[in-house]
Structure 1
């Protein structure tokens, strides 16, 4: 058992740092999304993707009548921060060996997450938040939000690894 623990030890600190960094980075990402959402044309100011996705999942599960708007917002926020934390963990595993500046690694990773989500699993799942179904402005908002998340994740993870 000790050998297994010893072999996992080099991954534990980056994994912890990445998880916390992903969570922390979701704060400025979410703030940016909420602020910029208000600057979109009125016809594009419908729910942001985290809420859109949660609403569609609730509708598909056929439990819409038992879940109100406050619960949807709470679930959306929890899901968004959980996804950010999980992707932060993934960042720490995949980007650990690259010797690039953290802001560059993080930004590229954030852009990759946007691509895999908005051009990948969201269209495959037929979600309305998928990039091909959204306007250019809404897509740009989400791309920049993911760059903010990625850059912040990279910087925070890099700093946390020094202290964990």
Structure 2
């Protein structure tokens, strides 16, 4: 079980890096506004929840990779030792996107729900979560073969 958690967390970090590349490309294309991990970090730092704060970018990146690692560990643990189909990873990534951006993120007042948010940001975020899920399945499968 510990082995699965570690491999899943490693896969989650790799998948988060791939997802972050999608998010940065979306940002460069002018589709994002603020990056969601930065907005989430901002909301939890002291002071007004919607005003920029020192360190929010770094804290957002660290939290994003930590969340990605935790979700990767959960995926590996839930899936067990079988080979994870990429389609299952994609569905998992989209489920994380939906639960986060239709659920807890708007409930905490950080960003609006999907249908009310910037269309470009949510298109990029959905795509990023597809990439996360696909890369997570591929990474977990590859990391398990190494041992």
Query: TM-score w.r.t. structure 1 length?
Result: 0.79
Structure ranking higher in helix proportion? 1
Tell me whether 1:74 sits opposite 2:64 in the alignment.
no
Note the C-alpha offset of 1:80.
0.7
CA separation of 1:134 and 1:74: change in aligned 2, threshold 3 A: same
Q: Does 1:134 align with 2:117?
A: yes
Residue 96 in structure 1 maps to residue 80 in structure 2: yes
| Alignment of structure 1 residues 33-112 onto 2, 5 Å | 33-40=23-30, 44-58=31-45, 61-62=46-47, 67-68=53-54, 71-96=55-80, 101=85, 103-112=86-95
CA deviations 1:31-78 (Å, max 9, x no partner) are: 1110122213xxx542110011111222xx32889x52xx21111110
Unaligned 5+ segments in structure 2 are none
Q: Secondary structure at the match of 1:47?
A: coil
1:140: Cα distance to partner? 1.0
Unaligned runs of 5+ in 1: 1-10
Aligned residues of 2:41 and 2:59 also touching (Cα < 8 A): yes
- Consecutive aligned runs of 4 or more in structure 1 exceeding 4 Å deviation: 97-100
Asked whether the 8 Å contact 1:53–1:129 carries over to 2, the reply is: no
Corresponding pairs, count: 145
Hey, what does 2:4 align to over in structure 1?
Answer: 14
Residue 141 of structure 2 is aligned to residue 153 of structure 1: no
| Pair 1:150–1:45, CA change in 2 (3 A) | closer
Deviation at 1:104, TM superposition (A): 1.1
The answer to whether the Cα contact below 8 Å between 1:14 and 1:96 also exists between their aligned partners in 2 is: yes
Per the alignment, residue 8 of structure 1 pairs with none
**1:133 Cα deviation from its structure 2 partner:** 3.5
Cα separation, 2, equivalents of 1:52 and 1:46: 10
Q: Does 1:31 align with 2:14?
A: no
